[in-house]
Amino acid sequence: MAYKFVPFKQKKLTEEEQLKNSETFYQALDERRSVREFSDKPVPKEVIENIIKAAGTAPSGAHKQPWTFCVISNPALKTEVRKAAEEEEKVSYGSRMSERWKADLEPLGTTWEKPFIEIAPYIIVVFKRAHETVEGEKRNNYYVNESIGIACGMLISAIHNAGLVTLTHTPSPMNFLTKILNRPENERAYLLLPIGYAADDAEVPDLQRKELDEIMVSYD
Ligand code: IYR
């Protein structure tokens, strides 16, 4: 069935407004940092819901919206996720990751220990939906990695915009999350994000981002 098409209302900005808005938005995003030390200060659930709604506005292949956001605040469940994630990470840091990889991470100071999973008031585990079952028939979704990557980018921006911090944690393999969170067989864990406030004494590496001329090539 075709969608009903309705007129699109283009937002009208002057060039001056465009310049101001684009600069302000860039400056705001440039303040975002991945934070590894969290406070346990609570966050209203409605804020988290708005953040998830923002992520859910992402474009997706054939508008299949192939994502599920599991929001966990239950302390026992957070402890279980932390334990299982650390077990995988211990093996990863111990033997699965190459020496080069570990050398690349050394300046960032990451380790197998993930206390933020328990400390942050919420963790979100994003699942990608590889396929759907419609009328008993298995139907693959399209561009699932692209779609969910875009949704996660918007999720991270929404978290930052709400004055909160996060970190993209990628325990590998992640299938323990399917089990702990009792997810259906068509879902695969994609990303784990703690959400909350930074600890008062949190520190971040003083890193630089690439300049525009390093990331943009113009073909005028
Ligand atoms: N998945 C591990 C290791 C890790 C890998 C990269 I590449 C990072 O930028 C950071 C961490 C972890 O989450 O610690």
pLDDT at 49: 99
Mutate to test the pocket of ligand 1, among 35, 36, 100, 110 (most ligand atoms within 8 A of CB): 110
CB 94 within 8 A of CB 113: no
Q: CA distances (Å), 169 to each of 10, 35, 58, 190, 191, in order?
A: 37, 11, 21, 10, 6
Residue 203 phi, psi dihedral angles, 5° rounding: -125, 150
For the chain, what is the HEC assignment?
CCCCCCCCCCCCCCHHHHHHHHHHHHHHHHCCCECCCECCCCCCHHHHHHHHHHHCCCCCHHHCCCEEEEEECCHHHHHHHHHHHHHHHHHHHHHHCCHHHHHHHHHHCCCCCCCHHHHCCEEEEEEEECEEEECCEEEECCCHHHHHHHHHHHHHHHHHHCCCEECCECCCCCCHHHHHCCCCCCEEEEEEEEEECECCCCCCCCCCCCCHHHHCCCCC
* Cα-to-centroid distance, 111 and ligand 1 (Å): 8
Cβ neighbours of residue 159 under 8 Å, at least 6 residues apart?
51, 165, 166, 193, 195
* Cα-to-centroid distance, 73 and ligand 1 (Å): 23
Please give the model's pTM, rounded to 2 decimal places. Answer: 0.96
Q: Match 């093996």 to its residue by tokens.
A: 91
Weakly modelled stretches of the chain, pLDDT under 70: none
Sheet containing strand 67-72, strands side by side:
67-72, 122-129, 187-196, 165-166
Tell the residue nearest (CA) to atom 9 of ligand 1: 105
Index of the ligand 1 atom closest to the CA of residue 93 = 3
* Cα-to-centroid distance, 141 and ligand 1 (Å): 28
Tell the residue nearest (CA) to atom 8 of ligand 1: 105
* Cα-to-centroid distance, 170 and ligand 1 (Å): 6
* Cα-to-centroid distance, 19 and ligand 1 (Å): 36
Index of the ligand 1 atom closest to the CA of residue 97 = 3
pLDDT at 1: 83
Q: How far is the first Cα of the chain from the last one, in angstroms, to the nearest whole number?
A: 41
105 CB within 6 A, ligand 1: yes
* Cα-to-centroid distance, 172 and ligand 1 (Å): 9
Report whether the peptide linkage leading into residue 184 is cis, meaning its omega lies within 30 degrees of zero: no
169 CB within 6 A, ligand 1: yes
